[in-house]
Amino acid sequence: MAELLERSVTDSRDAAREYYFALVMRQLLPDEARIIAAMSDGSVFPLVHLAARTGLGSPHRYLLENASTVGRAAGVVQPGLVPFYVTRLIQFGLAEVGDEAPGLNTQYELLLTDERVRALDAGRLGPRVVRLSLHISELGVQFWAASDPAARGVGR
């Protein structure tokens, strides 16, 4: 603790950012690295939450959060874990959620055919679909610039 407190007053902003990036890098899973790589060019991906239908005035409860086609685009090994991966990338500050992207209607429709989404959407009054978008954050851009293997002459 003493070392961390000392570093908090002696490290430069750049050193603190590099320390954070190293911490994130040690925690990233291989599929999450693939997702960051897929978003690194600025691409925007559809993202949906499925909310349980509740009575008026009741807070909504999500049945599924952060389902996205980004995993398919990235070629992840565990596509069923994409919502988990996206949640972690958002928590790390590497990805951000935005408003619905109207230009991605076909991709939203594709996402709604996903096995996991369809399983929750069964029934006459299935869950409410909340359409959003997913993109790399400014911190994610900086992280990618600092860690891009192609910039270091190493293949992906």
Angstrom distances, CA of residue 77 to CA of 30, 32, 66, 82, 140: 9, 10, 17, 10, 22
Report residue 20's pLDDT band, with 50, 70 and 90 as the boundaries: very high
Number of domains in the chain: 1
- Lowest average pLDDT, out of 10-14, 43-47, 106-110, 117-121, goes to 117-121
Which pLDDT does position 156 carry in this prediction? 47
- The answer to whether position 155 is within a domain reads no
Per-residue pLDDT of 106-143, as tens digits, reads 999 988 887 777 666 655 566 788 999 999 999 999 99
CB 7 within 8 A of CB 23: no
Work out the average pLDDT over 15-44. Answer: 95
- The answer to whether position 4 is within a domain reads no
- The answer to whether position 152 is within a domain reads no
DSSP letter for each residue of 10-76: HS-HHHHHHHHHHHHHHH--HHHHHHHHHHTT---EEEEEEE----TTPPP-EEEEEEETHHHHHT-
Is the pLDDT at 155 greater than 60? The verdict is no
- Average pLDDT over the chain, rounded to an integer: 88
**24: closest CA among 125, 76, 93, 77?**
93
Helix (H) or strand (E) holding 106: helix 105-112
CATH number, residue 66: 3.30.110.190
* Residue 142: CB atoms within 10 Å: 16
Range of the structural domain that residue 142 is part of: 12-147
- The answer to whether position 96 is within a domain reads yes
CB 98 within 8 A of CB 135: yes
For the chain, report the end-to-end CA distance as a whole number of angstroms.
36
